[in-house]
């Protein structure tokens, strides 16, 4: 049952982000979802939108426990608690475009990649509040943009690749 609850939070977080993106696009997009004939309808859980935000995003990451999500765009990094549409903390750097983001399973660690070729790492993310002036750790210039899909983090936040 605990696994189902964690999966439900993860799915709920993804659906919330997807709904936000669709609302921001303003276009009519049609999604059709179907279940296989062996689907057990007694295990259906209700889904409701918790909140939405109309900000543009380049990438989104949701913690495995579903309690935290991080969105990045051309202006900054925005860390949210799943129960509030206002960022818990944010990091803005006008000289960087943030292209990709990953979050640890428990939401405590965040790593982002920029179009200018840097990786920024934030620890203690669940305890941070308000504007962040610096990342915990920053890489050297990697020579090229850190594109979406080229950055990952271990579940415990201790390893990047």
Q: What is the pLDDT at residue 53?
A: 76
* DSSP string over 62-110: E-TTSSEEEEE-SSEEEEEETT-SS-SEEEE-TT--EEEEEE-TTSS-E
Q: 120 with 114: CB under 8 angstroms?
A: yes
Other C-beta atoms closer than 10 Å to the C-beta of 66 total 20
Structural tokens at position 103: 């979050």
Tens digit of pLDDT for each residue in 94-145?
899 999 999 999 999 999 999 999 999 999 999 999 999 999 999 999 999 9
**Nearest-angstrom CA–CA distance, 156 and 123:** 11
Collect all residues with Cβ–Cβ distance below 8 Å to 18 and sequence separation of at least 6: none
Tens digit of pLDDT for each residue in 3-30?
445 556 666 666 666 666 655 555 444 5
Tell me the pTM.
Answer: 0.69
Q: What is the pLDDT at residue 1?
A: 43
Beta bridge partner(s), residue 132? 91
Q: What is the mean pLDDT of the chain?
A: 81
Q: Is 88 helix (H, G, I), strand (E, B) or coil?
A: coil
Domains of the chain listed by start with CATH number: 1-26+55-161 (2.130.10.10)
């Amino acid at each position: 049952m605990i696994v189902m609850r964690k999966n439900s939070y993860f799915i709920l977080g993804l659906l919330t982000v997807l709904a936000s993106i669709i609302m921001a696009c303003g276009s009519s997009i049609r999604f059709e979802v179907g279940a296989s004939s062996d689907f057990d309808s007694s295990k259906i859980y209700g889904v409701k939108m918790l909140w939405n935000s109309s900000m543009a995003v380049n990438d989104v990451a949701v913690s495995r426990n579903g309690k935290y999500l991080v969105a990045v765009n051309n202006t900054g990094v925005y860390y949210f608690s799943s129960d509030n549409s206002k960022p818990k903390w944010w990091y803005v750097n006008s000289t960087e475009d943030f292209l990709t983001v990953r979050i640890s399973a428990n939401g405590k660690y965040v790593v982002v990649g920029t179009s200018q070729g840097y990786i920024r790492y934030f620890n203690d993310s669940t305890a941070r509040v308000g504007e962040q002036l610096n990342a915990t750790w920053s890489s050297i210039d990697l020579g090229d943009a850190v594109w979406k899909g080229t950055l990952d983090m271990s579940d415990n936040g201790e390893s990047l690749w």
